[in-house]
Amino acid sequence: MSDLHVVIAGGGLGGLALAQGLHRAGISVTVHEKDPTPDFRNQGYRVRDNSDGITALKAVLTPQAYEVFAATAGTPGARTDVFDHRLNLLDSQEFPHAPDLPGGGHLAVNRRTLRQTLLSGLHKAVHFGSRLTRYETNRSGTVTAHFADGTSTTGDVLVGADGVNSATRKQYLPQAQVVDAGLRMLYGKVPLGGAARRDLIPPELLGMWTTVVGPQLRFLGLAPVRYREPMHQVTARLAPDIALSEDSDYLACVFGARPDQLPCTDAELFAMQGGELRAVTLSLLKGWHPRLIDIVSRQDPASIFPVSVRTSVPVVGWETSAVTLLGDAVHVMSPAMGAGANTALRDARVLASRLVQAAGGTPLLTALRAYEAEMVGYGYDAVRESADRGHQLLGQNPLPSLQR
């Protein structure tokens, strides 16, 4: 094991993937996650892993954990369609197939399952109920992170992987803006259990991702997660040490609109429970194809929650230090391209490999500078592309101009 010690604030997808990569390379790492337990809050449902995400997971996970990840993901194909609200096909695209990756480079994974896989083998390294409040840099070049419970810890590097509201970013890059993208989304799940229920969804709506665009840019997003094998069977076969919660097939079903299209204020929306949220969606689907109304009416009320979409505004030119950022903490983006988690996982792969170089003798700041130069390029490209697609297809606000 090298002498390098890395402190990560945030145990979401990006922070845990980085911890996996460092742990695998024998680099000392601790993760401080504010939630008291892994299942404390709704983590969302389906995450599409594209070739960036899959390649990153292959690099950071142990071979067994990677096999578990691939075997517990659905393989939804590569087709993405756009329909109008009467179910007339407007556009259809087939993404490229990557023959060397599972699912051809397109997997639909349940977020909770992925997070449980990412936690495997890290139980001693991850501290739950540990919320970073601030940090200070020391004369020796190390960084001390302070937590809400009064504890602190010191490392050679502090990685802020603490998501969209990142406390690390607010202290490190106070000029970085995160803005309201002008979209509200109501996420939910339609259970697909049993052939009878599955048959109620027409096959043309079971592609990798389907967008239905209606009047006033109201939209529905539909995406299936269908398992090939029960979780316990996968882990018994591949990695008995990994514990996964069982899950059943479902269709992720997301309604979105600009806030002025909703019959309620944000305060009212975020105070509503599942059944009320489903009623809001149904009230805005008048005149839509009966198939679509039927799908929404079968959303499990307990699964529905509202999200206010936010995006970062790209920042340029900060000085590299022993504090760095990863994932949504630095480049939160519109979900229009399904790229946020994949980009966070890519960050984890790139940063882990640079820190392995630092552990092997490359000066730490040189290694971090190389990570940041690469990450800022593809990360902010993804922010811009997601904002452009979200603007054209869903009526999201255009991205404010570049910050310098």
User: Cβ closer to ligand FAD: 65 or 238?
Assistant: 65
Tell me if 85 contacts ligand FAD by CB under 6 A. Answer: no
Over the range 124-141, which residues count as b (16 or more CB within 10 Å of their CB) and which as e? ebbeeebbbeebeeeeee
User: Cβ closer to ligand FAD: 220 or 238?
Assistant: 220
At closest approach, how far in Å is the CB of 165 from ligand FAD? 6
Tell me if 12 contacts ligand FAD by CB under 6 A. Answer: yes
Tell me if 74 contacts ligand FAD by CB under 6 A. Answer: no
Q: Find where tokens 């194909």 sit.
A: 77
Options 30-38, 242-250, 269-277, 289-297: segment touching ligand FAD (CB under 6 A): 30-38
Options 162-170, 288-296, 354-362, 366-374: segment touching ligand FAD (CB under 6 A): 162-170
* Residue 27 near residue 150 (C-beta atoms within 8 A): no
Nearest residue relative to ligand FAD (C-beta)? 12
At closest approach, how far in Å is the CB of 344 from ligand FAD? 4
Number of residues forming the site for ligand FAD (CB under 6 A): 34
Residue 394 to residue 217: CA distance in whole angstroms: 6
Rounded to 5 degrees, φ, ψ at 226 are -125, 125
At closest approach, how far in Å is the CB of 307 from ligand FAD? 5
Alpha helices in 141-249 (DSSP H): 167-172, 195-198, 231-238
Question: Binding mask 280-319 vs ligand FAD (x if CB under 6 A, - otherwise)?
Answer: ---------------------------x------------
Residue 136 to residue 158: CA distance in whole angstroms: 10
Listed residue (329, 320, 288, 395) closest to 162, CA to CA = 329
Question: Binding mask 353-392 vs ligand FAD (x if CB under 6 A, - otherwise)?
Answer: ----------------------------------------
Helix, strand, coil percent content, the chain, rounded in steps of 5: 40, 25, 35
Over the range 204-225, which residues count as b (16 or more CB within 10 Å of their CB) and which as e? ebbbbbbbbbbeeebbbbbbbb
| Site for ligand FAD, rule CB under 6 A | 9-15, 32-35, 44, 46-48, 131-132, 161-163, 165, 167, 187, 307, 327-329, 335, 338-342, 344
